[in-house]
Amino acid sequence: MNMKSLAVLCALLVGTSTWADETTDDGRIRLGMTAAERVEFLAEMRQMLTSIQGIIAGIGTEDREQIAAAARYSGNRMARATPTSLRQRLPQSFQDIGGPTHMMFEEIAIRADTDDMADLAVLTGETMQQCLACHAMFRAD
- By CB under 6 A, name the one of 98, 103, 111, 115 that touches ligand HEC: 98
- Per the document, the length of the chain is 141
119/127 Cα distance (integer angstroms): 12
- Residues 64-83 binding ligand HEC (CB under 6 A) are none
Give the range of 1-9, 80-88, 109-117, 132-140 binding ligand HEC by CB under 6 A: 132-140
86 touches ligand HEC (CB under 6 A)? no
Q: What is the secondary structure of 60-94 as a DSSP string?
A: HHT-HHHHHHHHHHTSHHHHHHS-HHHHHHS-HHH
Q: How far is CA 79 from the centre of its chain?
A: 14
33 touches ligand HEC (CB under 6 A)? no
Site of interaction with ligand HEC (CB under 6 A): 31, 42, 45-46, 48-49, 52, 94, 97-98, 101, 127-128, 130-131, 134-135, 138-141
